[in-house]
């Protein structure tokens, strides 16, 4: 596998990272996952804008963005990926001389790492839907930053896997925020609900695309937190992300929704999404 590490394309086993890299020591870094449709990066500008924002909020001084898009296409080519690709890009504050919590006195050079792999959609999940479980949201209060500091969601997602669920949906103070790596949507009386943009959720690109569809097709939607105890008053649920696209949720803990059938608004939005991505060149 060929990756991009700092200023070079390298074989993965030729990459060496200092244990004093602050990404390794403190998870002091940010990241993005981007995928292609028809071999073209989808919503690249949105991902770039979110990356810039994450860097600004974490005060990581990186501004070498101009060549990133070409570097990504080069890595895809160098790895001979002929179908769709999933790109992982991470920037840490860089390597230091000594471990101190505050930023080092010396100026650090941020560490840039980009890898790609072939991406295969899970069509079964998308057509049949998935089970999710509810878990307490124990993350920090800056979930709007796409930080590599992910231990709370690693543990919540592991619990989901152990319970044969595809995702853990997080609940903070009785309110649903989002999934460990997805945004959460629910439908009631033909109105689509999702948590509002705030410090408690990541402003997902797929979430944004779905809300654009709602606007375009004049579907009612509300950006409001859903009370966990109110879930049973909703009739459809789905999760969104770059890798899961729009995936119907057919079971929450032990509650099977709508006899395990994906809902009609979910399916309508899925088909618009499919059309847009199929036509993406």
Provide the binding-site residues for ligand PLP, judged by CB under 6 A. 33, 178, 181-183, 202, 204-207, 240-242
Token pair in block for residue 59 = 């005060």
The nearest distance, CB 183 to ligand PLP, in angstroms, is 5
Angle between helices 205-216 and 44-58 (to 10 degrees): 130
Q: What is the dihedral of CA 163, 172, 258, 213, to 10 degrees?
A: -120
Residue nearest to ligand PLP (CB): 204
Cα distance between residue 169 and residue 171, in whole Å: 7
Token pair in block for residue 39 = 């071999």
Q: Which is nearer to ligand PLP, 104 or 152 (CB)?
A: 152
The nearest distance, CB 98 to ligand PLP, in angstroms, is 31
The nearest distance, CB 229 to ligand PLP, in angstroms, is 23
Contacts of 99 (CB under 8 A, 6+ apart): 20, 25
> By three-state DSSP, how is residue 34 classified?
strand
Confirm whether 146 is a catalytic residue: yes
User: Active-site residue among 146, 197, 216, 232?
Assistant: 146
Q: Which is nearer to ligand PLP, 108 or 206 (CB)?
A: 206
The nearest distance, CB 116 to ligand PLP, in angstroms, is 16
The nearest distance, CB 205 to ligand PLP, in angstroms, is 4
Token pair in block for residue 82 = 């002929």
Q: Which is nearer to ligand PLP, 126 or 240 (CB)?
A: 240
DSSP for residue 231: G
Residue 8 to residues 23, 60, 95, 109, Cα–Cα distance (Å): 19, 20, 17, 15
Q: Which is nearer to ligand PLP, 95 or 206 (CB)?
A: 206
Q: Which is nearer to ligand PLP, 205 or 265 (CB)?
A: 205
Q: Is 113 left (phi over 0), alpha (psi -120 to 50) or beta?
A: beta
Token pair in block for residue 165 = 């669920």
Q: Which is nearer to ligand PLP, 60 or 87 (CB)?
A: 87
The nearest distance, CB 228 to ligand PLP, in angstroms, is 18
In DSSP terms, 194 is beta-bridged to: 185, 223
DSSP for residue 279: T
Angle between helices 264-278 and 205-216 (to 10 degrees): 100
Cα distance between residue 133 and residue 142, in whole Å: 23
- Residues annotated as catalytic are 146
């Amino acid at each position: 596998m060929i990756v991009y590490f700092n200023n070079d394309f390298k074989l993965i086993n030729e990459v060496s990272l200092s244990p004093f890299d602050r990404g390794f020591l403190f998870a002091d870094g940010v990241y993005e996952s981007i995928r292609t449709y028809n071999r073209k990066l989808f919503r690249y500008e949105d991902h770039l804008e979110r990356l810039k924002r994450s860097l600004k909020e974490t005060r990581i001084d990186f501004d070498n963005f101009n060549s990133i898009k070409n570097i990504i296409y080069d890595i895809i080519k160098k790895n001979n990926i002929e179908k769709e690709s999933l790109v992982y890009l991470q920037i840490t504050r860089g390597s230091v001389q000594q471990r101190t919590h505050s930023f080092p006195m010396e100026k650090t050079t941020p560490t840039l790492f980009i890898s790609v792999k072939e991406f295969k959609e899970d069509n079964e999940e998308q057509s049949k839907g998935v089970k999710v479980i509810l878990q307490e949201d124990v993350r920090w209060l800056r979930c709007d930053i796409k930080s590599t500091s992910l231990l709370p969601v690693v543990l919540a997602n592991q619990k989901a896997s152990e319970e044969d669920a595809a995702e853990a949906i997080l609940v903070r103070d009785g309110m649903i925020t989002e999934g460990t790596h997805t945004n959460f949507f629910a439908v009631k009386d033909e109105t689509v609900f999702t948590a509002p943009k705030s410090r408690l959720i990541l402003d997902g690109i797929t979430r944004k695309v779905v809300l654009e569809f709602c606007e375009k097709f004049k579907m009612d939607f509300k950006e409001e937190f859903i009370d966990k105890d109110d879930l049973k008053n909703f009739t459809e649920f789905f999760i969104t992300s770059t890798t899961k696209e729009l995936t119907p949720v057919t079971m929450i803990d032990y509650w099977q929704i709508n006899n395990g059938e994906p809902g009609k608004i979910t399916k309508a939005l899925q088909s618009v999404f499919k059309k847009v991505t199929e036509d993406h060149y």
